[in-house]
Amino acid sequence: LHNETEQYIAATNVELDLIDERLRSADEGVRESIDAIRENLLHISRSARNVSYALHPAMLEDLGLIPTLQWFIEEFVENEALSVDFEAAGFDERLPEDVAIILYRVAQEALTNVLKHSGATNVCVNITKGYPDVIMVVQDNGKGFDPETVEDGGGGLGIIGMKERVASLGGAINIRSAPGEGTRIRVTIPIEVNHG
């Protein structure tokens, strides 16, 4: 789905380049329309990528969390001015499926928020499996925000959703951020309580 959509978008961009060349002397309105079409294509590309990500948790069943997160991150940063450093430790065995799905979804939401809102150029994703918890930290160098303001009605549905998902497994999520200081999200989910 994503690759096919990207091919059509690339072909459309080539056609737009040709039109742009032919209309160099055209009025400003035509140029603005071409720019608007390009912007729409960028949004379509991102939407297709998001749909592709949403459809891929099946990879979790086949490959487990770490390879799936690696794939997601590689796809996520493609064509973006964002680098993501990913580290994983302690994964001799696979996580229980419900824990893996929650961590995958939280990583998805956190990285999407970074791209949409933070202006960050770098994100670190670190996930460690120990006893009795698995801990995931997502930290960016973006503009940061006031977590209380966002949760108190400033558009924090993504944060609320992350907290609800993590709490459903008896876990906790801690968000540290301040304007101008980036954001750090720490997720802790007990593995042994319900899965030992």
Mean pLDDT, the chain, whole residue set: 83
Fold annotation for 64-195: Heat Shock Protein 90 (3.30.565)
- Pick the residue with more confidence: 98 or 127? 127
Question: Of the ranges 45-49, 79-83, 118-122, which one carries the lowest mean pLDDT score?
Answer: 45-49
Residue 80's pLDDT band (cuts 50, 70, 90): confident
Half-sphere exposure of 173 (CA within 13 A, CB side): 23
Question: What are the distances in angstroms from CA 23 to CA 13, 27, 36?
Answer: 15, 8, 16
User: 141 φ, ψ to 5°?
Assistant: -105, 30
Tokens of 59: 């990879």
Predicted model pTM = 0.70
User: 123 φ, ψ to 5°?
Assistant: -135, 140
Most confidently modeled of 11-15, 72-76, 140-144, 161-165? 140-144
Domains of the chain, by residue range, sit at 2-51, 64-195
Residues 6+ apart with CB under 8 A from 105: 162, 165
Helices (DSSP H) in 56-91: which residue ranges? 58-63, 65-77
Q: What is the mean pLDDT of residues 164-168?
A: 91
Q: What is the mean pLDDT of residues 161-167?
A: 89
Q: Whole-angstrom Cα distance, residue 193 to residue 196?
A: 6
